[in-house]
Amino acid sequence: MDKSWIDESNHTSSTYLDGVIQLLNYAFRGRDIDSVVYCSCWTCLNRAINTRREILLHCIRYGFDPSYRVWTSHGEVMGETSTSTEDRQRSALWEDDLDMLMRDCAMPDHLGEGINEGNTANDVGDDHRDDNNRGWRQMLEDMQNYLISGCKKISRLSFIARLLHLKVLCQWSNHLVDLLLELLRDALPDAVILPKNYYKAKKITKKLGFNYKSIDACINNCMLFTGDDVKLKSCAICRASRFVDGSPTKAAKKMRYFPLVHRLQRWFLSSKNAASMCWHAEGRVNDGLLHHPADSAAWKNFNRRHPSFASDIRNVRLGLATDGFNPFGNMSVSYNIWPVVLVIYNLPPWLCMKQPSFILSTIIDGPKGPGERIDAFLQPLVAELKELWSTGVRTYDAVSKENFQMRAALMWTISDFLEYAMLSGWPTRGANACPNCGMRTHSAYLKKGHKLCYCGHRRYLPDGLRLDRQSFDGTMDFAAPTTRITCTELVEQIRDVPTTYVNDDLITQHLAHQSRKRRRHEHEEV
């Protein structure tokens, strides 16, 4: 049976509905109309039983489990035919992904110009590749040539890419890959050409675009040595040395940045992925319930405020998440790194929160976290986001077979309360710890407990409780409830905050003042 409908993003299309009905006919063969079987929707996952009508409604509302390819819970037997079909589908997916990457590599400046309907990766490569780019031509030959002559299961480039993928998944060392390649060269015929070691294999896939930018940073997280500051040997703010022990090559701290624009463009180079990027507008069931961030008030309010951005459903909505962790898994080692991850909310829920859909944007090295100076490490990402918001980039859409101006917006950030202070710039500890109340936070310092407590909650209670002395601390509360900070008030509060550094002692004094411990006499003692 044809099961390609499982990957359909539109749950109300005729193809998807016919596929679900095909499953139901297969599962309910020889059964009564009131019988129940396992439900294969994305929510139930074959763990709950329902009637035929309920299963159909669940599959329309929540979608079908994409991993459920062999219907063993509904009577299908996993045999040789089904297994070979799964292998062919998996191999086809690998080749489709490589085809997408090759077409991306063939584009001039990654804009997708000159791609016409019906062109394959080879056609585009013949039209647009640079004759002087030997690496790209060699990669094209590796994709066209099969690993073993006469065996059309896997190409040479696909084999190398999958081998490197296994290295990451299984955490193989470089030496282990070298030994494995040496064993394969001895076991396979001489006609099979394999790279000698991991270094050679990595060079073959380098043109696929899996690269990053390594940027030196100040050891105290003050600034990045990029742009006009790339030649500096010491920090312009704290004067700390850029290098370790005076070495002109080994930086004291590094940041790795993965460019965003090209990775967003790749989502539209595959017809399947490009259709999923429009799911929030075309495939979402708008029944008044909250199934997706597109159903939220924030999303709808953003569309009302920016109608030009919302007019093209292909424009990308992003979320940013970050947190620190210890990469060594040893709590006795005080070392942590901070990844910054972007989430694409155009995708359906069963795709946007999956690991392959996450976009790793930045990796901030340790040994300590960036703290409130994380904004220095977000400068490359902010620059690209500004470009994507203001002008956008020209991108090829594989569904419409045309180019469009892709724009992107950062809708929100995801973090715990401690990281919220880093991303927003507002402290979540101290006298003014409430982000909503701001400078109007009601706090008091406990002289005996040596801690801050946050009072004033009675202002939100009815008048009778606000005037009740006996039930509380013997006082009456006449304060009015606080309101959320407006944009005008926020701009007024941060108007005098320095946003650029200069080579004088004022900034150094400002940073030293920020690092001082809280003075207890500044708070009210109770």
Model pLDDT for residues 417-457, shown as the tens digit of each residue: 888 888 877 788 888 888 777 777 888 888 888 888 887 77
pLDDT above 80: residue 178 = yes
Q: How confident is the model at residue 143 (pLDDT cuts 50, 70, 90)?
A: low
Residues 6+ apart with CB under 8 A from 154: 91, 94, 146, 147, 162
SS (H, E, C) 94-156: HHHHHHHHHHHHHCHHHCCCCCCCCCCHHHHHHHHCCCCCHHHHHHHHHHHCEEECCEEEEEH
Q: Residue 8, Cβ neighbours under 10 Å: how many?
A: 20
The whole-number average pLDDT for the span 31-50 is 80
Instruction: Output the pTM of the full model.
Output: 0.65
Round to whole Å and give the CA distance between 248 and 202.
27
Round to whole Å and give the CA distance between 37 and 80.
25
**For the CA atoms of the chain, what is the radius of gyration?**
29
The whole-number average pLDDT for the span 106-133 is 38
CB 267 within 8 A of CB 396: no
- % of the chain surpassing 70 pLDDT: 78
Residue spans per domain, the chain: 4-74, 80-208, 258-286+296-424, 438-522
pLDDT above 50: residue 93 = no
The whole-number average pLDDT for the span 467-473 is 78
The whole-number average pLDDT for the span 316-345 is 86
Position 521 scores a pLDDT of 40
Q: How confident is the model at residue 151 (pLDDT cuts 50, 70, 90)?
A: low
Query: In the numeric block, which tokens belong to residue 346?
Result: 């155009």
Considering all CA atoms of the chain, what is the largest pairwise distance in Å, rounded to the nearest integer?
92
What is the residue-averaged pLDDT of the chain? Answer: 77
SS (H, E, C) 417-452: HHHHHHHHCCCCCCCCCCCCCHHHCCEEEECCCCEE
For residue 160, the one-letter residue type is: I
The whole-number average pLDDT for the span 66-88 is 60
CB 50 within 8 A of CB 34: no
The whole-number average pLDDT for the span 231-247 is 84
CB 522 within 8 A of CB 252: no
For the ranges 147-161, 225-239, 503-517, the lowest mean pLDDT is seen at 503-517
Position 37 scores a pLDDT of 85
25-34, 166-175, 236-245, 297-306, range with greatest mean pLDDT: 297-306
How are the residues of the chain apportioned to helix, strand and coil, as percentages rounded to the nearest 5?
A: 45, 15, 45
Under DSSP, is residue 80 helix (H, G, I), strand (E, B) or coil?
A: helix
Q: How confident is the model at residue 209 (pLDDT cuts 50, 70, 90)?
A: low
